[in-house]
Structure 1
Amino acid sequence: MKKLIIAEKPSVARNIADAINAKIRKDGFIEGNDYVITWAFGHLLQLYDVKDYDPSLKGWRLENFPYIPQEFKYKVKTSGMNKQQVDSGAQKQIDIINSLIARSDIEGIIAATDDDREGQVIFDEITIYLKTKKPVERLLLNEWTIDEVKRGLQNLKPNSKMQSLQDAGLGRQLADWLIGINLTSVATVKYRGDEKIKVLNIGRVLLPTLKIIYDRDKEIESFQESRYYKLIAEFNTRQKITFEGTYYEDDNEKFEQQEYLDVINGKIKGKNAVVMSKTVEKKKEYPPFLFNLSNLQGTVTSKYKDWTSDKVLKTAQSLYEKKAITYPRTASQVLDESLIEKTEKVLNAHKQGNPFASEIIFHTAKRIFDSKKVESHSAIIPTYMVPGNLTNDEKIVYDEIKNRFLAQFMPVAESEETILTIKIDDEILKGIFISKGKVQLTEGWKKIEKVTVKEVNLPRLTEKEPLVVKNGKVTEIKRKAPKAHNEKTLLRVMETCGKSYEKEDSEEMMLAILSGFSIGTPATRAETIKKLKDVGYVRAKGKSLVCTELGKMLVESFPVPDLFDLEYTGKLEKTLSDIEKKKFQKSDFINMIVEFINQSVNAIKKDPNFGAKGTVSSDVEILGQCPECNSPVVETAKSFGCSNWKNGCKFAIWKDDRYITGFGKQVSPEMVKLLLQNGRVGFRGLKSKKGTTFAAYFHYTKDENTSRYNWSMEFIDN
């Protein structure tokens, strides 16, 4: 008997096959003595569209939403080229997997997709769709090296133990479907703006990310240019060595009035001064923590031209599948303590031939190994396998990861900081001058990370040592406007949900990131930034990201403010994290989302300020409001119709309407006014086919099945 292993991608399946020596390659799978290995291509399946549940809902119409399925169903994913057709490759692979599961010699199934929320869903949706009955186990790995695959197959877990991870993954998937399908549909129908805009994309992670960029744009736009001034003096020692000092009053060196400093500057030239105090402090500078995905993306995109966070993720994923690095989609910046022995093996493999090999020494400091600060996956490090066939892009990302890893085991960098406090011999002078110097004593890890060391040398001075003011200069400094977000800064705000920390590379920030209170996950943030650009909400300006007019319109007028609220979005992501930790139920989360959807759809429908409106010139008579989009209804040559017809609104009452003329009446402006105002219009003297006269109210109402407006009649009791 054999077990069927289902991997996430063909490349991973090949890694597993290499580890277990499975060599018989067939169409869609690889077979060995004890295992058959097959694969997905990421998601082979997708959730039903609305029209799949009910064909009559094919068109996007406001009255069809909100739509909440009684039961969520899956189908084989559609083609990227034609959404009306099934992806033939996905269909073929699903059929292969189904036939392999059905084989009589297959006694069980092993899930070998990525060990994360999304990987769990990719596998579980297959077994849900195929209604699998055979026992399922889970292979949990952090890398695809031969040793790890063999170890993992000896330590399989029942897939049922992954229920909370599945709940979190499916909870995310269903929530994003509900928000995306309902709000995208209603917003698009309600907006009907520029003809170039086919779809107005609304998403749980998309909109708060857009708001971050919008807020920064507004900060820049509203920035008021201002200046401040500093007084810099040059001092001479007895040995005629010159150095500079900055003027301070009450611990402040920035002054709003240039004239004030000009007066002081005019008094100090040639004056005697004295060193009042001298402090010398040795400082240790530790290397930055190991990379998580966001920090890796931020480092590479800021250092190299034409790199995006999405490109970094794809390159890191390729390195992972080539067995060169550990799992990349992680939020952790340290390693689990169980990896100490393995990490030493990795270090020994990579220090060989390194020019600083003699300085690289293994140790187990808490800055590197701390299980309490690891969430699901440890930080990204190289594996023990030194790759030899990397592309140029892969080499860039790999070297960053490798060097950050090696830096942890290099000597700590040490510097000496000197602060001189200087007083000028003038009783009227209120303040003091301060000089700061820095000398790098030990470069340590900075040599590997190629960190530029900037030194400021001060002369060797002692307290009470006399000086002379050579001259002074008042410097004008313009306050700079905030910089537009780039991918590095945007990722940091998403990662910390807008919370700022005194030090970016701090343990406090590390713990905050691991709490799950964030916008998106390491796996989805790059995709979100890419989608913002793809859907036209954001554009790249060099390395900066700025809002487009469409993006601004959405932030300023979309009537669901919670979707732009970082706090609200962070709570949703935190709730998904809590589901994974068994602190919250998936059903309660979905109920919460459904309630949010109902409220949001109604808010969009009722909001008079959101959505494009037809405009009319001041000399045209407005007969009333369109019942479809609230735009003005006006008279045209052949009808009384909505002024928003260019944007797709089709509401109209034709002047030669046969239903009305059949009763001997004409459609007039007065009739249309009454109809739009009261919902009905009354007529007397109507003629029936038999020639009798009667009175009735006419109603013009929409048929929910055809979306067409029809007349109906209500007799008036004489």
Structure 2
Amino acid sequence: MHKHLFIAEKPNLAKTIADARAKMLGVQPKTGNHCITVGDDAVTWVRGHVYELAAPHEYDPAFKRFDISHLPIVPDKWKRKPKQDFIGKLNRIRELIRSSDKLVNAGDAEREGQLLIDEVLEEMGVDPFSDRVLRFWASSMAERDLIETLNSLFPNSDKKNLSIAAMLRQRADWLHGLNMTRLYTEIVRNSGVDMLFSVGRVQTPTLKLVVDRDREIANFKPVDHYAPTGFFIHENGKFKADWIIPDDKSRIDPDDKYFDLEGRLVDKVFAKKIADDIAGKRGKVESFKSQNKSNPPPLPHSLATLQQECSKKLGLTAQQTLDVAQELYEKHKATTYPRTETQHLPNSVLKDEASGIMSALASSPGFEEIAGNADLKLKSAAWDDSKLSDHYGIIPTSEFSSSKLRAMSPIERSVFELIAKLFIAQFYPAQTWKSNSAVVVVDEHRFKANGRDPISAGWRVVYGAQADEEEGDKESDQKLPTMKKSDPVSVERSDITSKRTKPPAHFTDGTLIEAMSNIHKFVSDPEVKKRLKENDGIGTGATRAGIIEKLIEREFIQRKGGGKTKKVLSTTVGQSVIDVLPAQVVDPGLTSIWEAQLSKISKGEASADQFTDVLINTLNKFVEQGRKMGTVKVRGADTKALLPGTGNTCPKCGKG
């Protein structure tokens, strides 16, 4: 009889737990039949979700055929089925459960990790929230942290509401995705298009982001505009300043010829006239302002920000970044839990682990100087317990060492470097500079100059030359001479700067992840915008990469282009999907409502039944709306001529 049976989410985690437990108990782990024995305890494992919700035809054979009359399909009693390739392992887990006193849910410390072990227990006749079941909840795979977690097991029932929220999310996605996919697949088939018209709560609004961006670029009309520029001489030095467009344009443009609706100067001749008007003249300083500014170190990475940076700097897809981050966490135990939504850190890590982590980094090639010069007495804004939930930002673990760095592949090392440098930056001061601005007047024309005087590079020294490359517009970094009001200036020369408006850039994996995380920026409804911002966008750190890959698999979007970072573009079929679906289905507002409710359910603040009732009512409305649609056009898909008949199976022969 085993005292504890730990059921881990994956094999690597099982081995890591077994090793830590063995060290605690002073014994050697023994690997057996789908388990590792550690003294009186045992550790076994699954591989992600080993149960899945049953398909519609497993509730009713009639549902094998797509038919609008069947919709919406809503099971009276939900069924799960084991994945075929894991049935033998499940039988062994059942034996281990029968021969164990206490059971420990060792799924990942998040919503899905909670559910995938709870559902195994339920299918094996165990109440996952009984006194028999405990919870192992870890954010770091470092041995020291694991031992602390093993000493802090708590009742699994403490996470019951989280498990319920995960279950409801799973069922809601099944109901919404399956019913909407069947509904619109039948609509397009009745229009002569034979394709699976895939619809998903997160997938479809994500597709709309890409389609909208591509269309905005395609329809973009560039606008040429101009800025008269003066190059001035002051007794303390030279500087450049741009003409200030007056608030009252009618005084100089009574016929509305020179400026467009956005207030840009679009008449080149008029711009040249202003430049010529001031040539060789004298003017004076109307105002000079100077203020100290600072830029604190950026927060450590969440998965979303790591995916953005890896896309930009390393050319990785969102999925590739997640895979590498998972390896750094599980295989190397060099970084903390990767699927995190937060960028803040707990004060306990600052107190107990930061010094050791920094020492290990200072002993590792590439980090010696920047880690060695870090000031551990500094405390950045990242250290804030009030901003934490289940996890914290991705940082090196206390188990990191130079030998682990040597064991990493080149791409693993590159991703680790991005994570480690942000952690090191937390122990450097803010970047500081003096921001200067001056307004000069020549005749009736006013010109403005901006500049900055660096004071301290601060945390930017962690990035060396890279920091300068990313600083942005160098012209704003001109060094303005010190001036005061009424000082005389002379115009050394004048010119016009030609400018052209640019369309927004096509999405990349990184910028699409950013857009999904911040989709509130693409929404106009104030209430929906607020909800989406509170819920960190659509999808989660764990699912966004998979959503992108699914859209590519469906051929709704594609990666295209040369170079390190590829563009993510919509296909003709993907654009048609958005055109066919009603606004409510492509709107991310649905996700905002779901996530707001699921968040409340996970905290015990809302009813599961109420969530389900609202979902089914919404489904009924969508289906009724779909039934009233006529034929639709799907560009980019093969269209076949419709044959006479209803499209239903012949009731006599069962074939035609």
SS in 2 for 1:288: coil
Q: Which of 198, 209, 213 is residue 216 of structure 1 equivalent to?
A: 213
User: Could you tell me how far 1:349 is from its partner in structure 2?
Assistant: 3.1
Determine if contact 1:297/1:312 at 8 Å carries over to the other structure.
yes
Could you tell me how far 1:568 is from its partner in structure 2? 2.5
With over 3 angstroms needed to count, the CA separation of the structure-2 counterparts of 1:192 and 1:611, relative to structure 1, is farther
Does the 8 Å contact 2:191/2:632 carry over to 1? no
Aligned residue runs from structure 1 range 343-358, under 5 A:
343-353=353-363, 354-357=368-371
The two structures have a TM-score, normalised by structure 1, of: 0.79
Residue 227 of structure 2 corresponds to 230
Aligned-partner Cα distance in 2 for 1:228–1:422 = 22
Please tell me whether residue 405 in structure 1 is matched to residue 411 in structure 2.
Answer: no
Q: Is the 8 A contact 2:359 2:372 kept in 1?
A: no
Q: Do the aligned partners of residues 707 and 398 (structure 1) sit closer, same or farther apart at CA in structure 2, a change above 3 Å counting?
A: same
Q: Find the counterpart in structure 2 of residue 385 from structure 1.
A: 399
Residue 143 (structure 1) aligned with residue 140 (structure 2): yes
Of 335, 343, 349, the residue aligned with 1:339 is 349
One-letter identity of the residue aligned with 2:239: F
Cα 1:51–1:516 change in 2 (3 A) is same
3-state SS in 2 of match to 1:316: helix
Q: State the AA in 1 paired with 2:398.
A: Y
- Flag the 1:705–1:606 CA change in 2: closer, same or farther, 3 A: farther
CA distance in 2, matches of 1:46, 1:484: 36
Matched residue SS, 2:521:
coil
CA apart distance, 1:137:
0.6
Shift of 1:18: 1.4
Distance 1:650 1:536, change over 3 A: farther
Residue of 380, 388, 395 corresponding to 2:413:
395
Report the 3-state secondary structure (helix = DSSP H, G, I; strand = E; otherwise coil) of the residue aligned with 2:218.
helix
**Matched residue type, 1:113:** G
The aligned runs of 1:291-690 (5 Å cut-off) are: 291-305=301-315, 307-321=316-330, 322-353=332-363, 354-357=368-371, 359-363=373-377, 365=379, 367-386=381-400, 387-388=404-405, 389-424=407-442, 426=443, 429=444, 431-449=445-463, 450-452=466-468, 453=471, 454=474, 455-499=477-521, 515-516=534-535, 518-542=537-561, 543-559=566-582, 561-610=583-632, 643-645=641-643, 651=646
Distance 1:60 1:44, change over 3 A: same
Output the CA distance in 2 between the equivalents of 1:390 and 1:196: 49
1:117 to 111, 128, 134: 111
Distance in 2 (alpha carbons) for counterparts of 1:68 and 1:254: 56
- What's the secondary structure of 1:540's corresponding residue? strand
Q: Does 1:267 align with 2:263?
A: no
TM-score by length of 2: 0.86
Q: CA deviation at 1:302?
A: 1.4
State the shift of 1:350 in Å.
4.0
Contact 1:5 1:111 in 2 (8 A): yes
- C-alpha contact 2:317 2:510 (8 A) present in aligned 1: no
- Per the TM alignment, residue 565 of structure 1 is displaced from its structure 2 partner at its CA by 1.0
Q: For 1:274, what is the secondary structure of its paired residue?
A: strand
Q: Distance in 2 between matches of 1:405 and 1:196?
A: 53
Report if the CA contact (8 A) 2:520-2:532 is conserved.
no
- C-alpha change, 1:473 and 1:197, in structure 2 (3 Å) is farther
Q: CA deviation at 1:604?
A: 2.2
Q: Aligned equivalents of 1:209 and 1:256: distance in 2?
A: 36
Query: What SS is found at the alignment partner of 1:530?
Result: helix
SS of the counterpart of 2:369? coil
| Native 8 Å contact 1:346 1:383 kept in 2 | no
Distance in 2 (CA, whole Å) between partners of 1:705 and 1:311 is 52
- The CA distance in 1 between the partners of 2:499 and 2:517, in whole Å, is 33
**How far apart are the structure 2 equivalents of 1:591 and 1:201?**
24
1:568-616, Cα deviation, whole Å (9 max, x unpaired): 3222122222211222222221222222222222322331144679xxx
Instruction: Give the C-alpha shift of residue 274 in structure 1.
Output: 2.6
* Residues 26-71 of structure 1: per-residue CA shift (max 9 Å, x gap): 2311111031111111111111111122234322233333211111
* 2-structure distance, mates of 1:195, 1:311: 38
Paired with 1:156 and 1:468, the residues of 2 have a C-alpha distance of 75
CA shift digits 1:404-437 (9 cap, x unpaired):
111011121111222122222x3xx2x3122222
1:254, CA displacement in angstroms? 4.3
Q: In the TM superposition, what is the alpha-carbon distance from 1:198 to its structure 2 partner?
A: 4.0
Amino acid at match of 1:310: Q
2:126 alignment partner in structure 1: 132
2:80 paired with 1:74: yes
- 1:151-170 aligned at under 5 Å gives the runs 151-170=148-167
Distance 1:130 1:157 in 2: 22
Deviations 1:521-550 (A, max 9, x none): 121111111111111111223332222111
The structural deviation recorded for 1:15 is: 0.8
Match of 1:243 in 2: 239
- Return the alpha-carbon distance in structure 1 between the equivalents of residues 652 and 430 of structure 2: 73
**How far off is 1:363 after superposition?**
4.3
What runs of 5+ residues in structure 2 fail to find an aligned partner? Answer: 23-27, 250-262, 524-529
Aligned counterpart, 2:202: 205
Residue of structure 2 equivalent to 1:665:
none
Offset of residue 243 of structure 1: 2.8
The amino acid of 2:106's aligned partner reads: A
Q: Distance in 2 between matches of 1:351 and 1:651?
A: 70
Structure 1 residues 293 and 493, CA, compared in 2 at 3 Å: closer, same or farther? same
Task: Find the aligned partners of 1:73 and 1:492 in 2 and give their Cα distance.
Answer: 36
Tell me which structure has the larger Cα radius of gyration.
1
What is the rounded CA distance, in whole Å, between the counterparts of 1:214 and 1:281 in structure 2?
A: 43
Q: For the Cα contact (< 8 Å) 2:30–2:38, is it kept in 1?
A: yes
Alpha-carbon separation, structure 1, partners of 2:376 and 2:325: 25
State the shift of 1:196 in Å.
9.0
Equivalent residue letter for 1:294: A
Structure 1 unaligned regions, length at least 5: 78-85, 502-510, 614-630, 632-641, 653-700, 710-718
The Cα shift of 1:242 comes to 4.0
1:174-216 alpha-carbon deviations (Å, 9 max, x no partner): 0111112222223223312899964221111111111111222
Partner of 1:40: 46
The alpha-carbon distance between structure 1 residues 92 and 222, as it changes in their structure 2 partners (threshold 3 A), is same
Shift of 1:92: 2.1
| Deviation (angstroms), 1:442 | 1.0
Equivalent pairs counted in the alignment come to 604
> Distance in 2 between the 1:513 and 1:65 partners?
29
Alpha carbons of 1:447 and 1:196: their partners in 2 closer, same or farther (altered >3 Å)?
Answer: farther
Deviation at 1:500, TM superposition (A): 7.1
2:3 is matched with which residue?
A: 2
Call closer, same or farther: CA 1:705–1:339 in 2, change over 3 Å.
Answer: farther
Amino acid at match of 1:19: A
C-alpha deviation, 1:362, in angstroms = 2.2
Name the residue aligned to 2:92. 96
Counterpart Cα distance in 2 of 1:192 and 1:612: 10
Specify the code of the residue in structure 1 equivalent to 2:20.
A
The amino acid across from 1:94 in the alignment is L
Residue 355 of structure 1: SS of its match in structure 2?
helix
